[in-house]
Chain A
Amino acid sequence: MRRSDNLQGTLELLILKSLEHQANHGFGITLHVQTVSDGLLHVEEGSLYPALHRMEKDKLIKGEWRVTESGRKARLYSLTAAGRKRLAEAESSWTSVAKGVRKLLRFA
């Protein structure tokens, strides 16, 4: 896990956010995070998959085997209702944490 994953729940937030608009597989999620953050953030596979399974067990996301556009079989994850709710909560709490941290940094 890199520096960006240190705050608990961050990985979960990243995954939820990546799946907000479309279902995706694990590899897609790593690509998405990397591309959208301009390479600043990076999700490691070793943490990603246990997290995906845990979140699936918690019924935040739902996994399904599908065939991708390139004709490959992959397990695609999509948000459940509970997942969407959790995403909203996590987003707002992240925003407030970030805001707080930014203020603190400016003060110093």
Chain B
Amino acid sequence: MLSSLPFILVVCAYLFYSHARLLENPGDKLLPAPATIAATVHQYAFEEDERSGDYLWWTDTWASLVRLLTALAISAAIGLLLGLSLGVIPYLRAAIAPFVAAVSLIPPLAVLPILFIVAGLGELAKVVLIIIGVAPVIVRDLALRAGELPNEQIIKAQTLGASTWQLALRVVLPQLWPRLIDALRLTLGSAWLFLIAAEAIASTEGLGYRIFLVRRYLAMDVILPYVAWITLLAFTMDWLLRLLRAKAFAWAEAA
């Protein structure tokens, strides 16, 4: 209950200032009235767009989620494979770890122009931008985690007859899964950042595209609900990941 108090306070403050501004100037666009926002949301979500015939709210959501989830899935796969290999094979770690560390420090937005030049303005560039921003972090985190496993465990597994392959498959990999979920949760914020940045610059649909498009008309009645919606989506993804970790990896909760 107490945790809902700050939310209520923010909403109250908004209602108060919105009302005050609209009293002074009924044409004010900065803090639109709740009724205006509701009408806009209804128009975007439940009425066909005059020009395209789409339900913009849902086509934007779908386009953004496809990009985000594709990129996250690929990043997770890269992170798991490379993180595991770096953690298990010392030679590989010596050869590649510094490279991964360097790549992870490239500011992803700085290479966005390169992506647009090389991959064009299509979906590929946007997905790759998110992967460049997210995957190296996951790789490094998982490699660190694999390296942190107690040496006793590795030696014990060897005395039980484990080969390097079996060690990776039955000892290291299963212990990386919960950490992968943690890493995904932590990188979710930056993944959304890169998605919206890419959509703002070159796109024809998507949540980020829409808010940057309507910015020209000071359409706060569109921007505000879109931002709230993006936040809700991000929160739901975070919550689902946390739920998955608790259900699927009970041992990690017990430890």
Do A and B come together as binding partners?
A: no
